[in-house]
Amino acid sequence: MGKIKVYIAASLDGYIARPDGDLDWLTEFSNPTKEDYGYNEMLTSVDTVIMGGRTYHELSCMDILWPYKDKKTFVVSHKAIDTKENIEFITDNIIERISDLKNRSSQDIWLAGGGELITMCINAGLVDEMQICYIPVILGSGIPLFPSNPKESNWELRENIAYASGIIKLSYRLLR
């Protein structure tokens, strides 16, 4: 059985996107040293990506090739749409389907976002690890990292890294 990992960027005030879902504040953040903040290491440790419908929509609207061609991707959405990529839509029995994916997986799974899906999975006890990269930006409003009242849970800090860019990455493991 694999672990479900959250790897996500958040503003200092706890938002993962602007109110309309826009991620421009991330792409505009200066990264002159081209640091990947542990992203590639995390990505090579997973064979499956799970994301919410808004996250999928924002990625598909960017002027980039689909970045997860070699991963099985599941999109949690109210409706399935046709796609040419290796993508399957989860439209019902969300927690049961994600739990089944976790139980059948031999590698880890990346829960890429958004906040509602992360909270839903935390509340179901499915998230094992979190890596949160705090970007030194205050958005003032937007989509919160943990909306919809996450239930209380305890996490152990496994690693904290401060980068020259001002980004701080905190890595946590769920205490069961």
pLDDT at 160 over 90: yes
pLDDT digits (tens, 9 = 90+) for 13-68: 999 999 988 888 988 888 888 889 999 999 999 999 999 988 888 777 776 777 88
Mean pLDDT of the chain: 92
Task: For the chain, list the domains and their CATH numbers.
Answer: 4-174 (3.40.430.10)
- Considering only residues 117 and 85, tell me which one the structure prediction assigns the higher pLDDT: 117
pLDDT at 58: 76
Q: Sign of dihedral through CA atoms 126, 83, 45, 21?
A: negative
CA pair distance 89, 81, nearest whole angstrom:
8
Residue 21's Cα: distance from chain center in Å? 14
- Most distant pair of Cα atoms in the chain: their distance: 43
pLDDT cut 90: percent of the chain above it: 71
For residue 149, name the pLDDT band (cuts at 50, 70, 90): confident
Q: What contacts 118, CB < 8 A, 6 or more positions away? A: 6, 8, 111, 127, 145, 146
Q: What is the mean pLDDT of residues 91-114?
A: 94
pLDDT at 148: 80
